[in-house]
Structure 1
């Protein structure tokens, strides 16, 4: 079975202090067969990429207003006169504050919303097929 994949490469900024940030190449990935989630791959200098997965709805809402709590928080902001989306990520390995260009994130999100419109996510999961397969055993 073929699944729809929506990807976007972009450069984020890792905010180290109010005066200093470094570029972080990243890839946003959305898979129609995992319709509630967005996957972000950060390519840092560690030799291995860092992967984060969180709710698509969180990123959609975070473009417009602060949202989230705990490990992932997202909110709109301005940086040097540009609209940006800030993502605060927390894990046992550490915390990161990342800045993404709003226009690029929004354009990618629109593509994901066309692929799987809000409210239709459950239909992508094929739960009935999976349940039938389990019960057939």
Structure 2
């Protein structure tokens, strides 16, 4: 049974000058973490830089400006040339990236085939997880 959906993705890092630099990235969704999407940015120096945020936030960001704080998304353009913009902020700095919106949309649709929207909690056994968090057991 398929438990994850992954996709290589070419993103562009937008510099302060307005120029862009290609950044290879990958999208990962797993049924073991059904509420989240994972993005890994593959930089030349060392391990990938990982970001995790809500699948619902990504879905909203494909349609309209969404998010506050550390992760903000918004679409621009239309059709095959449409872009998804992603602004990330951390104590170490901030970055603005963009990717082809149709590629991200197709990947998100594949995640919905694995775990339909609204069904994320169906496969989770929350009681042991809550006991571990609240009481340090499990």
Question: Normalised by the size of structure 1, how large is the TM-score?
Answer: 0.87
Within 5 Å, which residues of 2 pair with 1:49-88? 49-78=48-77, 82-88=81-87
Aligned residue pairs, count: 134
- Alpha carbon RMSD of aligned pairs, Å? 2.5
Is there any run of 5+ residues in structure 2 with no aligned partner, and where?
none
Query: 1:33 and 1:78, CA in 2 relative to 1: closer, same or farther beyond 3 A?
Result: same
Question: Normalised by the size of structure 2, how large is the TM-score?
Answer: 0.87
Within 5 Å, which residues of 2 pair with 1:1-137? 4-17=3-16, 19-78=18-77, 82-128=81-127
Partner SS, residue 12 of structure 2: strand
More strand by share: 1
Could you tell me whether the CA contact under 8 Å between 1:12 and 1:98 is conserved in 2? yes
- Distance in structure 2 (CA, Å) of the matches to 1:111 and 1:37: 14
Give every structure 1 segment of 4 or more consecutive aligned residues whose post-TM-superposition deviation is greater than 4 Å.
Answer: 128-134
Is there any run of 5+ residues in structure 1 with no aligned partner, and where?
none
